[in-house]
Structure 1
Amino acid sequence: MRTNVYVMYGGQSPEHDVSLKTALAVMNRLDRDRYRVYPIYVEPDGAWRGGNELAECLDDVESLRLSSGERSSMGGILKQWYQEDRSNHVVFPVLHGPNGEDGTLQGMLEMLNIPYVGNGVLASAAGMDKIMTKRIMEQAGIPQTPYTAFTLYEWNKEADRLIHTIGSSIGYPCYVKPANMGSSVGISRCGDREELEASIREAFRYDRKIAVEKEIPGREVQVAILGNDEPVCSVAGEFERERHFFSYERKYSSGVLTKRIPARLDDEVYGRLRTMALQAFRALDGAGLMRVDFFVTDSNEIILNEVNTLPGFTENSMFPALLTYGGRRTFAQLLDELIGLALERYREKRVWRDGRAGA
């Protein structure tokens, strides 16, 4: 019997269009001999649309903007899960950004007792919030770039003091980042006070909390983690680039990104990086998948940049490229593993909920 896979995508975040690109790649590579694939589209205004089974591959992302059928609430879409054996359903969420990868959707699916791909409520919420991630990694002893963080309330109350603190303790150049946003949305590199003030105002368009980080000269190197209780780490990869950081347009629109896999690291440096990545995954109580990004300096110092608990699966995305490198697995097999990990974690939770742990 084929498993019903409900791919949730779109959403109300600024990463709506990135989500569609990920959804297209996932849906087109799910094995139709093993799965019945159903789209669930969350429109930019929050309305939900459920589509019919997708028996064939889709041509482009525009076909994912479901327009036929009645707009519904999420309750109306999810009602069908209570009409069948829910053990034969799994949700594959690819809603990037707030209300998708920040634990809110995961909490809803937990309450509905439905298996889903990827990280749980805690890992999703803490991993999405860059400031909370930093605090957890500090406790885990993982090196990070110097930073400061503050809220919109604090900024409105004492902007001059904060600007002075950033200049004296962080310095220039620095990066301003909304706490809860991905795909480089709202992120700016600042070379002086004027740019810093403008960047802070821009970042507060996306979140009430922001982080300001010291720039670390070096390469950004990424690894992919796959697994639950026994996670494995991929080879390392990096993007060859000329600019200081990847803007949203650079990542998803320019079409000129070049991946280097494996990254230019010797075995000793990769070994340390791999250990840190697995340590970060476990510190967040990760499940299923995670991408962990590091800076590697010219002196081979390794510094954690950030984690991504729901990395993209687009044509430019590093996560699937790392895990399919060298023919270890195909893209379709990677999706099989992720669904298998989701069902494994779901069965484990059911044992605990039924009070039979250790039996």
Structure 2
Amino acid sequence: MSNKIRVGIIFGGKSAEHEVSLQSAKNVIDAIDKNKYEVELIGIDKSGKWHIHRASEFLLNAENPKLIQLNRSNEGIALVPGEDQNQLLNTTQAKSLSQVDVVFPILHGPLGEDGTIQGLLKLANLPFVGASVLGSAISMDKDVAKRLLRDAGIPIADFVSVSKASAKRITFDQLKSKLGAPLFIKPANLGSSVGVSKVNNEEEFNQALKDAFKYDNKVLVEEFVKGREIECSVLGNEDPMASVAGEILPQQDFYSYEAKYIDENGALLQIPADISDEMTKRVQAMAIEVFQVLCCEGMARVDFFLKEDGQLIVNEINTIPGFTKISMYPKLWEVSGLSYPELIKRLIELARERFERDQELKSTYD
């Protein structure tokens, strides 16, 4: 009998960030220590169906970010809450699968990073990597996250939250008078720069709202912050630590989806960032503060703007950051002294530590 730790890796998902998840999953699967871990691959297609996969054939066009696809298998899988053993079932063959010891969700965006899969895994009593339900949900919703950060006294860019109903009553000039111009428009519950637009006039504003509302029912309109784009990775549970800071040097108008995940020349990553030791400490301290204010655990990447006057502005947090070969989260830890395989190992350890901690909580009243 193998004494390897069985890791269920869930990827894909019914989200506009589906392809990013496939790239991230491929890198995690390639890097995980096969001598220590045995992986069970669970791919979720764009319709939401779960598939059992083999490592050798779970992707199509795996080396091309523009064409990468999930190779749908002929074997379905279901997760059964309420069972102490055999939570995973092969629905095609009507049989239970071997027990997994921990789940590593690599699902970016809605139905993966927003607390939904985390709630299902908690119901199934399975340890999982990353933030739990609350931290995932509030961090995913940029409107809610910004309100909490603002209440905690953490500097953020000024913004207005717009619903589909209020969008009919608001104009570019009204928001320009409040936030200035240009403006950034983005879905409240999405990442990877999907649906994000930089606008300078009424025509661009109206089109950007239409584009953003394709992905979400709530949209953020944010002020433009002129500053350097600084990022910091956080790792841990109750006592998190921060990596060195890195800087994004976009080669496009802003750090777009293509620059993040498709075009390797779309942005330059400077790690460590060319900032003072004092500023590095400020970035690290604020990254940890953001992580804790938003009830995060496991991992997150915190993104900042550094203005010319030295003011540090929090842009956003990502609780399941990218793990692609050009992603900042693992690169920052690598420069900080934690290799990709060691980072995966530590994330799995943190998931199991939290699970054991939570198992000590009483669920009955004496």
Q: How does 1:11-50 map to 2 (within 5 A)?
A: 11-50=13-52
Partner of 1:130: 142
How many pairs align? 350
Q: 1:278 aligns with which of 288, 293, 307?
A: 288
Residue 146 of structure 1 pairs with residue 158 of structure 2 = yes
RMSD: 2.5
Q: Aligned with 2:195: secondary structure?
A: coil
Whether the 8 Å contact between 1:19 and 1:95 is mirrored in structure 2 is yes
Instruction: Identify if the C-alpha distance between structure 1 residues 179 and 59 changes in structure 2 by more than 3 Å, giving closer, same or farther.
Output: closer
Whether the 8 Å contact between 2:103 and 2:129 is mirrored in structure 1 is yes
Supply the distance in 2 between the matched residues of 1:316 and 1:140 (Cα, whole angstroms). 32
* Cα drift, residue 267 of structure 1: 1.6
Whether the 8 Å contact between 2:57 and 2:71 is mirrored in structure 1 is no
Q: 2:181 aligns with which of 172, 179, 197?
A: 172
Supply the distance in 2 between the matched residues of 1:102 and 1:294 (Cα, whole angstroms). 21
Identity, in percent, stands at 37
Partner of 2:170: 159
Residue 110 of structure 1 pairs with residue 122 of structure 2 = yes
* Cα drift, residue 354 of structure 1: 5.4
Instruction: Identify if the C-alpha distance between structure 1 residues 58 and 198 changes in structure 2 by more than 3 Å, giving closer, same or farther.
Output: closer
Supply the distance in 2 between the matched residues of 1:172 and 1:276 (Cα, whole angstroms). 27
Q: How does 1:1-359 map to 2 (within 5 A)?
A: 1-52=3-54, 54=55, 61=62, 65-75=70-80, 78-80=87-89, 89-156=101-168, 158-160=169-171, 163-256=172-265, 257-325=267-335, 328-353=337-362
Opposite residue 102 of structure 1, the aligned amino acid is D
Opposite residue 141 of structure 1, the aligned amino acid is G
* Cα drift, residue 171 of structure 1: 1.7
Q: Aligned with 1:4: secondary structure?
A: strand
Supply the distance in 2 between the matched residues of 1:167 and 1:112 (Cα, whole angstroms). 48
Whether the 8 Å contact between 2:251 and 2:268 is mirrored in structure 1 is no
Whether the 8 Å contact between 1:15 and 1:183 is mirrored in structure 2 is yes
Higher strand share: 2
Instruction: Give the structure-1-normalised TM-score.
Output: 0.91
Q: Aligned with 1:312: secondary structure?
A: coil
Supply the distance in 2 between the matched residues of 1:186 and 1:319 (Cα, whole angstroms). 22
Higher helix share: 1
Deviates more, 1:305-314 or 1:237-246: 237-246
Q: What do residues 127-174 of structure 1 show as CA deviations (whole Å, max 9, x unaligned)?
A: 011001101101111001111112112213x134xx343021012111
Opposite residue 177 of structure 1, the aligned amino acid is K
Supply the distance in 2 between the matched residues of 1:159 and 1:297 (Cα, whole angstroms). 29
Alignment gaps of 5+ in structure 1: none
Supply the distance in 2 between the matched residues of 1:261 and 1:323 (Cα, whole angstroms). 10
Instruction: Give the structure-2-normalised TM-score.
Output: 0.90
Alignment gaps of 5+ in structure 2: none
